[in-house]
């Protein structure tokens, strides 16, 4: 028997176990089971999540104690808990329709409505006509990470609280006081917000394009090693904030990236880098396009 390296236990607070616990909690009607799942698995994970978001993004609310901000955010998160859907549907543009496919044809106005309101009962294929242009779409299933969903809820809520506070100060306080709040709080600095938004968008697009590549390995001429690295990259990109960021800051911990990829693929650093070349080129092209469009 080979002496392959034994995978190390991953350290973190929201991985597969917690993702499955969310689904189990939502699917069971047994109140005792719900309480056990929540208290033993979800409560520690969500506590860590809310604390980390407040500290990492410096989303403190002036005139509030940390405990007050935490409790308020946690309560809001729980009010939205049941809104999470593990699976959703969206239309992706395709270049051609498969043979013997029943597709629904519509004009641009009807098409826009169908593209916005998607569920499993929508037509699988759409043909949208606009003047001389024909656009083709396929309905695809999208798996949603519970961590990403709940984290977004917390961040948006905290940012809204901060903006509300500043608006109240603008109405009731001298300009100098409000100016000091803007100058000293990272979440009101436009360039930081733009940079973070750009990074989030770039990471999401890169992850989606890698998924398309590994879903069609023959078309993209991917070998087994490239497929394995591609899957690890998707896992990394979809959860980048917990994988490669420091818990208490926005500082990128680059050493975590290669460590994660080595552990996930059981490959050496050299082999990982060799199998990343196509994905790096993909990332570079997406980034170049995004910068040109700004």
pLDDT tens for 283-293 read: 888 888 888 77
How does DSSP classify residue 185?
A: -
Would you state the structure tokens that stand for residue 48, as one six-digit string?
A: 């860590």
Helix (H, G, I), strand (E, B) or coil at 117: coil
pLDDT band at 6 (very low <50, low <70, confident <90, very high): low
User: Cα-Cα-Cα-Cα dihedral of 130, 133, 139, 142, to 10°?
Assistant: -100
Question: What is the average per-residue pLDDT within 33-62?
Answer: 92
* Nearest by Cα to 233 from 283, 293, 186: 283
Cα–Cα distance, 160 to 144 (Å, whole number): 24
- Partnered with residue 142 across adjacent β-strands are 88
Question: What is the average per-residue pLDDT within 234-249?
Answer: 66
Angle at 242 between CA 255 and CA 191, to 5 degrees: 85
Residues above pLDDT 90, as percent of the chain? 34
Q: Tell me what pLDDT residue 195 has.
A: 63
- Partnered with residue 106 across adjacent β-strands are 128
| Residue 141 φ then ψ, to 5° | -85, 135
> If you average pLDDT over every residue of the chain, what do you get?
82
Cα–Cα distance, 147 to 134 (Å, whole number): 37
Decide: 71 and 54 in contact? Cβ < 8 Å.
no
Cα–Cα distance, 232 to 264 (Å, whole number): 6
Greater confidence (199 vs 17) lies with 17
């Amino acid at each position: 028997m080979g002496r392959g390296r034994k995978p190390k236990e991953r350290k973190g607070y929201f991985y597969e176990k917690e993702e499955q616990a969310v689904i189990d909690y939502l699917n069971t009607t047994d109140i005792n089971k719900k309480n056990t799942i929540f208290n033993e698995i979800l409560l520690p994970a969500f506590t860590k999540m809310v604390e980390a978001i407040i500290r990492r993004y410096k989303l403190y609310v002036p005139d509030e104690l940390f405990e007050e901000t935490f409790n308020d955010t946690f309560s809001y998160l729980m009010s939205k808990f049941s809104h999470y859907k593990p699976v959703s549907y969206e239309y992706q543009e395709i270049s051609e329709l498969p043979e013997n496919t029943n597709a629904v044809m519509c004009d641009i106005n009807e098409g826009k409505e169908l593209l916005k309101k998607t569920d499993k009962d929508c037509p699988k294929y759409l043909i949208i006509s606009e003047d001389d242009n024909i656009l083709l779409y396929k309905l695809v299933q999208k798996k949603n990470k519970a961590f990403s969903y709940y984290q977004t809820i917390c961040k948006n809520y905290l940012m809204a609280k901060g903006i509300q506070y500043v608006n109240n100060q603008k109405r009731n306080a001298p300009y100098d006081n409000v100016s000091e709040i803007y100058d000293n709080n990272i979440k009101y600095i436009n360039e930081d917000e733009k940079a973070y938004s750009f990074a989030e968008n770039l990471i999401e697009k890169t992850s989606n394009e890698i998924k398309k590549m590994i879903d069609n390995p023959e078309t993209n001429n991917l070998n087994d090693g490239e497929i394995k690295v591609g899957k690890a990259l998707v896992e990394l990109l979809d959860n980048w904030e917990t994988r490669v960021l420091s818990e208490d800051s926005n500082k990128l911990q680059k050493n975590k990236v290669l460590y994660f990829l080595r552990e996930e693929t059981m490959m050496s650093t050299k082999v990982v880098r060799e199998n990343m070349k196509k994905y790096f080129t993909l990332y570079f092209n997406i980034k170049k396009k995004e910068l040109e469009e700004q």
